[in-house]
Amino acid sequence: MDRSVSPKAADFSIALLAWFDAARRDLPWRRARTPWRTWVSEVMLQQTTVDTVAPRFEAFVERFPTPRALAEASDDAILSAWSGLGYYRRVRMLRDGARACVERHSGEIPTSYATLSELPGVGPYTAGAIASLAFDEAVPAVDGNVGRVVSRIAGLKVDPSKPAGRRAVEEEIRLLMPASSPGAFNEAMIELGALVCRPTRPRCDACPVRAFCVAVDDVPENYPLKKTRQESVAVSCVRAFVPAGDGGAWTVAIDEGGRLAGFREFPGRWLAPGESAESALRDALSVLGFSSITIGAEKARCRHTITRHRITAILHAVRAVGPPSSSPAKPSSIAELSGPGVTTETRKLVAAAAEVGP
DNA sequence: TACGCGTGGTA
DNA sequence: TTACCAAGCGT
């Protein structure tokens, strides 16, 4: 590797690593750099901010200290431990990856990029991050930060979120990366993107590698190429608060396989254009086996966004005779309705209803 | 390849 | 208020 590193690349690394040594943040996953802690943190940080992950990281690795511990955990346990992090599919994939370690590697985490890449939920970035940060393998790890930093430094007019753009960025990294400390190099590039080479208002005046940067003399914000975004869609849904016991209400579990699988929510459904809330609720509750349905007043409403769907959820008070025991609907206590087993939309509705009054 | 997947923060 | 995300991955 060293033979391909030019004197200019060596100067780049020296400047970058000196900056990182002084500026690196004290983050939980950096305090003990084990392979498992690295893996967990990288998955948590996918599309999720440091401020969201930091307060939840230690509790998770304390509860599941090894891949084997997570491999053997129940759905309820992992979803509860992941509560508040979003993208719940990630923790199921992490568990699948942990199970693969148990089944194929005696519970150990593979040490090479190639073998890490064969684990479920481990893509090019995560494999590169674990291999380099935990095992010091000299491989690129291109996340959103690194894609932005490298496209600016090299003046690449590519979209690093696409495979072709990512490969172009990886080629540049191979020219720059020092054989002596690839892990520190990758982590420093990520940190540079987060603290200095930001998406908007980059702090080029404080950049340790501005002497090597093409975009600093251009318009840095023009790099990298932006991905085209889907238009967001406004949708409404109606839900029923059918009392069940002391402050509680009937809920249904979301089907396995769909989004938010495993969480509970108030019964209801999307509102078709022009459809009345009353007929939609009557329909949804009948399907679940409720009878003698009386739709009451609006009890609460909330706004909630899931990816590109802007949802307005409206909760109605409803009186009805409970369904037979064969129904998927079950009673939930008031405590459960504001706990980690329900969707965020449900917690918002419960909170909004509490503000109005019981 | 384009899309779906959750959440909380910022402009 | 809405737009745009923030350390991606699987399908």
CATH code of the domain in which A146 resides: 1.10.340.30
User: What percent of chain A stands above pLDDT 70?
Assistant: 96
Nearest CA-CA partner of A253 in A244, A243, A263: A263
Residue A20: count of CB within 10 angstroms of its CB: 19
| Residues A57 and A93 both lie in one domain | yes
Kindly report the length of chain A. Answer: 358
Which residues lie below 8 Å from residue A300, measured CB to CB, with a gap of 6+? A314, A315, A349, A350, A352, A353, A355, A356
Q: Which of A203, A222, A241 is the last residue of a domain?
A: A222
pLDDT at A310: 83
| Residues A209 and A237 both lie in one domain | no
Domain of A344, CATH number, reads 3.90.79.10
What string of DSSP letters covers A259-302?
A: TTTT-EE-SEEEPPTT--HHHHHHHHHHHHT-EEEEEEEEEEEE
| Residues A206 and A249 both lie in one domain | no
Residue corresponding to tokens 């370690």 = A101
Quickly give A257 CA vs B4 C1' distance in Å: 13
pLDDT at A261: 64
Q: Residue A277 in contact with residue A241, Cβ under 8 Å?
A: no
- Confidence label for A305 from pLDDT (cuts 50, 70 and 90): confident
pLDDT at A322: 84
Angle between helices A7-23 and A182-195 (to 10 degrees): 60
Q: Residue A221 in contact with residue A296, Cβ under 8 Å?
A: no
| Residues A40 and A125 both lie in one domain | yes
Between A262 and A80, name the one with better pLDDT: A80
Average pLDDT in the A63-72 region? 97
pLDDT at A275: 87
pLDDT at A257: 61
| Residues A183 and A103 both lie in one domain | yes
Q: Is the pLDDT of residue A54 over 50?
A: yes
Mean pLDDT (chain A) is 91
Scanning every strand, the nucleotide with its C1' closest to A129's CA turns out to be: C7
Average pLDDT in the A318-329 region? 89
- Domain boundaries, position A324: 233-356
Instruction: Please report whether residue A227 resides in a domain.
Output: no
Q: Is the pLDDT of residue A2 over 60?
A: no
**Helix, strand, or coil here: A253?**
strand
Q: Is the pLDDT of residue A271 over 90?
A: no
| Residues A240 and A102 both lie in one domain | no
- Confidence label for A81 from pLDDT (cuts 50, 70 and 90): very high
Q: Which of A178, A194, A222 is the last residue of a domain?
A: A222
pLDDT at A1: 45
Scanning every strand, the nucleotide with its C1' closest to A193's CA turns out to be: C7
- Confidence label for A358 from pLDDT (cuts 50, 70 and 90): low
Q: Is the pLDDT of residue A228 over 80?
A: no
Q: Is the pLDDT of residue A202 over 90?
A: yes
Instruction: Please report whether residue A228 resides in a domain.
Output: no
| Residues A46 and A183 both lie in one domain | yes
Q: Angle A126-A132-A211 (CA atoms, 0-180°, nearest 5)?
A: 105
User: What percent of chain A stands above pLDDT 90?
Assistant: 73
**Which of A34-43, A146-155, A192-201, A221-230 has the lowest average pLDDT?**
A221-230
Residue nearest to nucleotide B8 (CA to C1'): A52
Average pLDDT in the A103-108 region? 97
The reply to whether A187 belongs to the active site is no
Q: What is the rounded CA–CA span in Å between residue A144 and residue A181? A: 21
Average pLDDT in the A292-298 region? 95
| Residues A89 and A193 both lie in one domain | yes
Residue nearest to nucleotide B2 (CA to C1'): A230
The total number of structural domains that make up chain A: 2
pLDDT at A34: 96
pLDDT at A356: 64
Instruction: Please report whether residue A120 resides in a domain.
Output: yes
Q: Residue A53 in contact with residue A44, Cβ under 8 Å?
A: yes
Instruction: Please report whether residue A269 resides in a domain.
Output: yes
Q: Is the pLDDT of residue A138 over 90?
A: yes
What string of DSSP letters covers A227-246?
A: PP-PPPEEEEEEEEE-B-SS
- Confidence label for A304 from pLDDT (cuts 50, 70 and 90): confident
Q: Is the pLDDT of residue A3 over 50?
A: no
Quickly give A46 CA vs C6 C1' distance in Å: 7
Chain B nucleotides with an atom closer than 7 Å to a protein C-beta: 1-9, 11
Quickly give A48 CA vs C5 C1' distance in Å: 10
Q: Is the pLDDT of residue A277 over 60?
A: yes
Between A357 and A150, name the one with better pLDDT: A150
A190 Cβ nearer than 7 Å to chain C strand: yes
Average pLDDT in the A132-140 region? 97
Instruction: Please report whether residue A74 resides in a domain.
Output: yes
Residue A45 one-letter amino acid:
L
> Sheet of A268-270: strands edge to edge?
A268-270, A233-241, A309-321, A291-306
